[in-house]
Structure 1
């Protein structure tokens, strides 16, 4: 199957630009080796690849969480990454809810840290909790919520920030299949309303194809880009309905082959 590669992205449109990035935490084999990646504003990009190939390291680098010596350049909205950048919201694999805060208080926490007025942040958090299916649970504490509900709260907390760039590190990886599908649908709906730039890390190839505009496959350490594929499936999409789409299955087979090659690198 012939698939279009994203080769001609215009530099000035880039929300994120990585050029010839090589990074190593210790002497020997680099964690990331000569990676170049450009993400236009408003694109939903997923990255898949073996454990240890540098996916999360790239997110942490973009978020300014690590300052490991490296060669190459990393730019986010035209500048070097920095810790506490309000242009970035970061959703981790774990919900990281504060156990002493209610669902509403947890959903509003990021806005509180950024100094948003109390009434404004409560209103925004309450609205997003309703949209993620947690209306009526505003006064509940994390221990009273299921794992899926906690992730819904974390998703609301992330989207509550007005950051134009969202970094998401396997946020649904530990969920059961049904809950995962529900949250994928929810994420796609939220993204289609606001069209922020998203970099989404996952080990689930089906998830990557279903929710993304583009899928980047990385090979085994040292992490390199094996292939970079646009997803030619029109939006708006239903993650559930895609299971019946032959294009989805053709994409899956093609990218899986590239992923297998990446494991052998």
Structure 2
């Protein structure tokens, strides 16, 4: 894929209803091909920031650009994977996997070929004609992952896509996501509450404070790729990075709570 997908956020502030201060002076960049995770306590504005980048929530204060252009819903260079699979129950796995490219008017043969290829990559080739009610939760998330990666978007926004899965399925899909990402090196903003997941997946981890969400740390993850969950568990650097992120996360919560008192 082309070396594109630079995401730049500068001085982002956002309030809800003029009363609830959700984000305060948030600034960061995501380089082309970089995988950046954002962690923080519930309600700190992680998803709000992601929705502003996606163009789903209006920008109030600050600047946000993707390849120099301002956010806009429906941009073809951005793909968004939600925490829920959001499959249409009246469509098959294959039809759901090709849906994003259908909305983009990609020729039917091309989008179907891409969908079949991605379903094969996520281990669902034999289930391409199954409906969502016939698939497990983990299988539905695999379809959603195939749908997301089938779209030729250089930027991927992912909002806790594996947060509701059991531990084993979550590890499987994390490994699968890393495999798919390593082929194309798209720019990724990945929201998660799981610090293990953040260290495993990322080039950098951004730590946010409690509401109003501020960036309290931007931590590089200098672990070699490709990465394995099992091997990293034996690597002391993995645990040092986890502890560093946890310390910053605790500081962000404690510091904000003290400021409110």
TM-score (structure 1 length as normaliser): 0.93
- SS of the residue aligned with 2:126? coil
Counterpart of 1:19 in structure 2 is 10
Equivalent-residue separation in structure 2 for 1:115 and 1:240 (angstroms): 42
Once the 2 structures are TM-superposed, how far is the Cα of residue 199 of structure 1 from its aligned partner?
A: 0.2
- SS of the residue aligned with 1:47? strand
- For the 8 Å contact 1:181–1:240, the answer to whether it is kept is no
* 1:86-235 aligned within 5 A: 86-235=76-225
Report whether the alignment pairs 1:83 with 2:51.
Answer: no
- Alpha-carbon RMSD: 1.1
Once the 2 structures are TM-superposed, how far is the Cα of residue 259 of structure 1 from its aligned partner?
A: 0.6
Once the 2 structures are TM-superposed, how far is the Cα of residue 27 of structure 1 from its aligned partner?
A: 2.8
Report whether the alignment pairs 1:250 with 2:245.
Answer: no
Counterpart of 2:42 in structure 1 is 51
Once the 2 structures are TM-superposed, how far is the Cα of residue 187 of structure 1 from its aligned partner?
A: 0.3
Equivalent-residue separation in structure 2 for 1:112 and 1:202 (angstroms): 29
- SS of the residue aligned with 1:244? coil
TM-score (structure 2 length as normaliser): 0.94
- SS of the residue aligned with 1:94? coil
Equivalent-residue separation in structure 2 for 1:96 and 1:54 (angstroms): 22
Report how many residues are paired: 252
Equivalent-residue separation in structure 2 for 1:150 and 1:123 (angstroms): 19
Counterpart of 1:34 in structure 2 is 25
- SS of the residue aligned with 1:240? helix
Equivalent-residue separation in structure 1 for 2:31 and 2:5 (angstroms): 4
Runs of at least 5 residues in structure 2 that lack an aligned partner in the other structure: 257-261
Equivalent-residue separation in structure 2 for 1:240 and 1:16 (angstroms): 32
Once the 2 structures are TM-superposed, how far is the Cα of residue 71 of structure 1 from its aligned partner?
A: 1.6
- For the 8 Å contact 2:5–2:187, the answer to whether it is kept is no
- Give deviations 1:99-137, integer Å, cap 9, x for gaps: 001111110010111001111111110010010011200
Runs of at least 5 residues in structure 1 that lack an aligned partner in the other structure: 1-12
